[in-house]
Amino acid sequence: MPYSDLDPSKFSLSKIVATIGPATDVEETLRRVIENGASVLRVNFSHGSFEEHAERVRTVRRVSDALGKPVAILGDLCGPKIRVGLVKAPGIQLTAGQDFSLRTDIDESKDGETPELPCTYEPLAAEVHEGHRVLINDGAIRALATGSDGSTLRCRVVVGGLVTTGKGVNLPDSDISAPAITEHDRACVRFGIDHKFDYFALSFVRRGEEVRELRSIIEGHCAEADCGGSLDATRTDPTIPIISKIEKPQAVERIDEILEESDAIMVARGDLGVEMDLARVPIIQKILIQRAHDYGKPCIVATQMLETMIEKPFPTRAESSDVAGAIFDGTDAVMLSGETAIGKYAPLAVQMMRRIALATEERLRELPQSSRPSEVVRESRYRTAALAHGAWHMVQDVDAKLVCVWSQHGGSARYLSRIGLRVPIIAFSSSEAAVRRMTLLYGVTPVLMRTLPEHRSEFAKMVDEFVLTRGMAEVGGMMVLLAGKPFGVPGVVNTVSIRRVGEFAATGG
């Protein structure tokens, strides 16, 4: 059944990212996807035209406005994907032990005893050395490089399969010089800014400087557009937050420098599972979630979470355990890809993910709780982070049912979401962009308030009326409030207080 974020009995603290595509092009389907719990919608720039994306964005905004439910749009940039070129139909079958070559100087495949396959990456033969792994079609076909000559890379098949046009090529052992941001990515950034996207995801990140490069491109465009502020209170320039996709071994090795530059990360287990030992992916996932927490940055776990639901109306037991495990590990959000982009049961997949999240969070509330101040944030001595830490203790001491905060750009809400609270965080702002972006934060329900309170007591009265009219708490129950003044200005939160629900309604302020 559809639910409201403001129904405390059905409030999921974990967030759901859902990819939109042909399966959600029917407006009623998209409406049910949002009603069932998706708070961030992903546009995958690897598929579809700008015209198709623009129409989907317009539909998302229209449905979001009609429901009165803020929804963020995440633009997932393609990055430097290496692919096999044109292969004659029906494809070329490679068998174990067979030799073949990848060539950058041919436009079409050549069959024979030693097949030749075209490749889109010009420096291939120079950067892949003997003994390096060459993986095709998400690792389904595996080979080892045996040598190179000019524009030709010679390989020997270890695990065979059918090669067809456009299949991806992964080179996990090679130091690839391909730029992290392609010309197509730059066009996608311009498109996303023009259409008021809320996040960009950077694919195949290898080092922190690549995130800085994307930020420079975004901020260059934002100087001429209304991009809104950053969730990071230390950044003052208009920008759009960046989610770094961790899917290469180099990114895992340099995770700290990448987190330093990013606004959030995504554990992209598809390519990560191709490029690294599959047995280690669950361990790496736990490590990445923990490091994101240490830096006070949101984390999304993605890829094949409910894959079965592309074709069936229910997941496997292993898939539901996978979603629960990620939430137990502390992820902020879990993501659906093909399940909602091309699946037969898109709304049902979102509903199932929310049901798993609710059941997992119910168990988490039964376990002993402890404050989880972010390591790097604590070392920064930032005032709002200290207030958030204090708010956690207040919630435990008085058994508060809600935490409410005025968070103009979302920075204070982000600190609260990272502290380990098991109660809803209601974050108010007068910024539409900030309200949409806060939909990614664990535990946070963002609320747009177009009228700014003039002082803290007026804000407390506003909160009182809001939670009472929506049945979010009972009269006399405890809640914790954080605010600062002047309202509407980021970075001024400096007070935390304990209030009884209905206190201002009873006294008139």
One DSSP character per residue, 431-494 reads: -HHHHHHGGGSTTEEEEE-SSPPSSHHHHHHHHHHHHHHTT-S-TT-EEEEEE-SSTTSTT---
Sign of torsion over alpha carbons 333, 338, 339, 341: positive
Report whether pLDDT(1) > 50: no
Contact by Cβ (8 Å): 72, 41:
yes
Rounded-to-integer distance, Cα 410 and Cα 198, Å: 12
Say yes or no to pLDDT of 224 above 90.
no
pLDDT at 233: 62
Q: Encoding tokens for residue 427?
A: 């974050």
Average pLDDT over residues 465-485: 89
Instruction: Please compute the mean of the pLDDT values over residues 160-174 and round it to a whole number.
Output: 93
Residue 150: the pLDDT is 84
Query: What is the C-alpha to C-alpha distance for residues 415 and 109, in angstroms, rounded to an integer?
Result: 54
> Quick one: how far is CA 152 from the chain centroid?
38
- Helix (H) or strand (E) holding 105, with range, is none
pLDDT of residue 506: 54
| Whether residue 312 has pLDDT greater than 90 | yes
Interatomic CA distance for residues 447 and 402, integer angstroms:
14
Sign of CA dihedral 353, 354, 357, 358: negative
Between CA 222 and CA 200 the distance in angstroms is 13
Q: Is the peptide bond before 368 cis (omega within 30 degrees of 0)?
A: no
Please give the pLDDT value at position 18: 98
Beta bridge partners of residue 75, listed in sequence order: 43, 200
Structure tokens at 186: 């730059």
* CA gap 313, 319 in Å, rounded: 13
CA separation for the pair 483, 59 (Å, rounded): 35
pLDDT class of 437 with cuts at 50, 70, 90: very high
- pLDDT class of 451 with cuts at 50, 70, 90: confident
Please, are residues 413 and 443 in contact by the beta-carbon 8 Å criterion? Answer: no
Residue 102 pLDDT more than 50? Answer: yes
Nearest Cα neighbor of 135 from 115, 116, 154, 158 is: 158
pLDDT value of residue 376: 63
pLDDT of residue 387: 86
Q: Which amino acid does the sequence have at 358?
A: L
- Provide φ and ψ at 131, rounded to 5°: 95, -15
pLDDT of residue 5: 44
And the tokens for 120? 């889109």
Burial class from Cβ neighbours inside 10 Å (0-12, 13-18, 19+) for residue 275 reads buried
Share of the chain above pLDDT 90, in %: 71
* Alpha carbon distance 491, 457 (integer Å): 19
Instruction: List C-alpha distances in Å: 333 to 34, 330, 390, 437.
Output: 15, 9, 25, 13
pLDDT digits (tens, 9 = 90+) for 236-285: 678 999 999 999 999 999 999 999 999 999 999 988 988 888 899 999 99
In this structure, are residues 101 and 143 in contact, taking their beta carbons and an 8 Å threshold?
Answer: no
Output DSSP code: residue 237.
Answer: S
Percentage, residues of the chain above pLDDT 70: 94
Q: Please check the confidence at residue 29 and state whether its pLDDT lies above 90.
A: yes
Examine the pLDDT at 507 and tell me if it is beyond 60: no
Residue 36, SS3 per DSSP: coil
pLDDT in tens, 174-192: 988 989 899 999 999 999 9
pLDDT band for position 229 (cuts 50, 70, 90) = confident
Checking if the pLDDT of 149 tops 60, the result is: yes
The H or E element containing residue 70 is none
Question: Which residues lie closer than 8 Å to 213 by C-beta, 6 or more apart?
Answer: 180, 181
| pLDDT tops 80 at residue 2 | no
pLDDT tens sequence across 330-383: 999 999 999 999 999 999 999 999 999 999 999 998 988 776 666 666 666 577
Q: Which amino acid is at 301?
A: V
Encoded amino acid at 328, one letter: F
* pLDDT over 50 at 9, yes or no: no
Q: Is it the case that residue 6 has pLDDT exceeding 50?
A: no
Q: Rounded CA gap, 376 and 382, in Å?
A: 10
209 vs 218: CA distance, rounded Å: 14
Catalytic residues: 42, 83, 245, 303
pLDDT the model gives residue 379: 62
Least confident range of 32-41, 93-102, 129-138, 483-492: 483-492
Query: Where do runs of H (alpha helix) occur along 342-454?
Result: 346-366, 375-380, 383-398, 411-417, 432-437
What percentage of the chain's residues is helix, strand, coil (to nearest 5)?
A: 40, 20, 40
The mean-pLDDT minimum among 81-90, 430-439, 494-503 falls in 494-503
Average pLDDT of the chain is 91
Tokens of 274: 């191709």
Q: What is the pLDDT of residues 379-400, one digit of tens each?
A: 665 777 788 888 999 999 999 9
CA separation for the pair 285, 281 (Å, rounded):
6
Give yes or no for residue 146 having a pLDDT over 80.
Answer: yes
Number of residues that this document lists for the chain:
509
| Residue range 31-54: mean pLDDT, rounded | 96
The answer to whether residue 158 scores a pLDDT higher than 60 is yes
Q: How many angstroms from the chain centroid is the CA of residue 447?
A: 21
What per-residue confidence (pLDDT) applies to 76?
Answer: 97
